[in-house]
Amino acid sequence: MANRKLFIKSYGCQMNVYDAGRMTDVLTPLGYATTSRPDEADLVILNTCHIREKAAEKVFSDLGRLRAVKAARAEQGLDQMIVVAGCVAQAEGEALMARAPVVDVVVGSQAYHRLPELIARVHREAGRAIDTSFPADPKFDFLPQPSVQGPTAFLAVQEGCDKFCAYCVVPYTRGPEASRPVAAILDEARHLAQGGVREITVLGQNVNAYHGEGPDGRPWTLGRLLEALAAVPGIARLRYTTSHPRDMGDDLVIAHRDNPALMPFVHLPVQSGSDRVLAAMNRGHDRATYLRLIDRLRAARADLSFSSDFIVGHPGETEADLEATLSLIDAVGFVHSYAFKYSPRPGTPSAAHPGQLSPEVKSERLARVQERLGVHQRAALDLAVGTTMSVLLDRPGRHPGQLIGRGPAMQPVHLGTPGLAIGDLVEARIVAAGPLSLAGEPVEPERDASPPAWRVA
């Protein structure tokens, strides 16, 4: 199967982006090279998200388009295998195969390390294959070391969720909370650093619930793990996502105070500012608890910035509940956030709630929340003008010679100075703010003595 082409499309969260990369790593030894064109791919993988109805339906729209692509290739005597992976695959399984006959393989979010075996079975038996199991042995035990594509990388340390928020399917599609051993995580981090990675984002569905086994045989907290990751040579910056307010322990607050590699930025989903809605969502925290947590974190490090997630139009939400959300946004001043209309997911308690709101009401309320979030995002960008911040350049810009990086609070920063390269960690003076990003001028770049192979000048 040498010199075959792989097209992979990932939907949804950062964990899915990480999983897509790991699927590529699994398939590379079989001779697959990635392509950006599904029409030239021998293997197409849709790595799916089930968190909202729109995300799931987008998969079936894409499958409709792929049916035509697969038929056109068949007319030319070319095979194409289509795989649906991820959370839609996990949730729908056999029903997905019945609904979409064009699909050859369905593989769940915990079984994608078995892709080579499933692909071989389809070729051998000229049939279809499905695996939505939760193997007793975690998939990470079977995955090769990840490929390195640039100066930043995701590193999954925790998967699954035990919180059972009333609107959410993650506990059913990702399984219960499970944490990787510290030794395996540090081994992967050293591999990434040796490949030129300078910033690691530690991933988990509830990453601050991390409790992996340490070298001493005892469970480590996320704060302790971040301390060990900061000691890996070459790693200059650390981030983590996504956190749950219920799992933000003292050790993690202290880590923001004492770990200089940990960026001063926390993504901490609140979902609503109304205690009544939070109780209906089964979030396990109230508004006052969330705001006290923000205060504790800011007391540990004054320059901390925050982002969040909001679900607007949860069943039973009133105008007063929405106003409570707007006032919480004002109280925290999030630098950027994500807001979505509530989407009923089959089998969740919220889907059976009698107080479902109309699409029109949800759309109108979402617009108001997004407008308020935008006010604070623009204010944060404007306040950055005239300051100096550390920027890790990670991609080319739209214009010749322009590079883009991220500031400490994930702000996109554009630099147009000649002589810089992707992978440089630059002290930049911010000279202008746009609607969504900043423009800067370097003060003094810090260069690697031996640039990695992926570096693009």
Q: Is residue 116 part of a domain?
A: yes
Are 145 and 273 in the same domain?
yes
Are 377 and 398 in the same domain?
no
Mean pLDDT of all residues in 266-275: 98
Q: How confident is the model at residue 282 (pLDDT cuts 50, 70, 90)?
A: very high
Is pLDDT at 216 greater than 80 in this prediction? yes
Which residue type sits at 301? R
Are 90 and 158 in the same domain?
no
For residue 108, give the 3-state DSSP assignment.
Answer: coil
Write out the binding residues for [4Fe-4S] cluster. 13, 49, 87, 161, 165, 168
Q: Is residue 457 part of a domain?
A: no
Q: How confident is the model at residue 75 (pLDDT cuts 50, 70, 90)?
A: very high
Tokens 């989903």, residue located: 269
Cα Rg, the chain, nearest whole Å: 23
Distance CA 450, CA 123 (A): 44
Mean pLDDT of all residues in 360-382: 98
pLDDT at 258: 97
Question: For 97-141, how does the pLDDT look when each residue is reduced to its tens digit (9 = 90+)?
Answer: 999 999 999 999 888 999 999 999 999 988 999 998 887 667 888
* Domain coverage including residue 257: 140-381
Percent of the chain with pLDDT over 70: 96
Both structure tokens of 231? 């000691």
Are 114 and 191 in the same domain?
no
For residue 247, give the 3-state DSSP assignment.
Answer: helix
Q: How confident is the model at residue 2 (pLDDT cuts 50, 70, 90)?
A: low
Are 175 and 258 in the same domain?
yes
Is pLDDT at 397 greater than 50 in this prediction? yes
pLDDT at 444: 67
Write out the binding residues. 13, 49, 87, 161, 165, 168
Are 377 and 389 in the same domain?
no
**Domain's final residue, options 332, 364, 381:** 381
Tokens 């703010």, residue located: 433
Considering its fold, how many domains does the chain have in total?
A: 3
Backbone torsion region of residue 289, taken as left when φ is above 0, otherwise alpha when ψ lies between -120 and 50, otherwise beta: alpha
> Who's near 41: CB < 8 A, 6+ residues apart?
5, 6, 7, 35, 80
Distance CA 81, CA 58 (A): 19
Is pLDDT at 1 greater than 80 in this prediction? no
Q: Rounded to the nearest 5 degrees, what angle is found at the Cα of 215, between the Cα atoms of 262 and 210?
A: 45
Q: Is residue 447 part of a domain?
A: no
Q: Is residue 454 part of a domain?
A: no
Are 347 and 438 in the same domain?
no
- CATH code: domain of residue 309: 3.80.30.20
For residue 114, give the 3-state DSSP assignment.
Answer: helix
Are 85 and 162 in the same domain?
no
Q: How confident is the model at residue 457 (pLDDT cuts 50, 70, 90)?
A: very low
Q: How far is CA 223 from the centre of its chain?
A: 20
- CATH code: domain of residue 405: 2.40.50.140
Are 96 and 8 in the same domain?
yes
Mean pLDDT of all residues in 302-315: 98
Cβ-contact 415, 440 below 8 angstroms: yes
Are 169 and 262 in the same domain?
yes
Are 104 and 202 in the same domain?
no
- CATH code: domain of residue 56: 3.40.50.12160
Q: Is residue 450 part of a domain?
A: no
Is pLDDT at 142 greater than 60 in this prediction? yes
Q: How confident is the model at residue 336 (pLDDT cuts 50, 70, 90)?
A: very high
For residue 238, give the 3-state DSSP assignment.
Answer: strand
Is pLDDT at 175 greater than 90 in this prediction? no
Closest among 74, 73, 66 to 100, alpha carbons compared: 66
Are 116 and 60 in the same domain?
yes
Beta bridge mates, 415:
403, 440
Mean pLDDT, the chain, rounded, equals 93
In this structure, what are the phi and psi dihedrals at residue 307, rounded to the nearest 5 degrees? -130, 170
Q: How confident is the model at residue 451 (pLDDT cuts 50, 70, 90)?
A: low
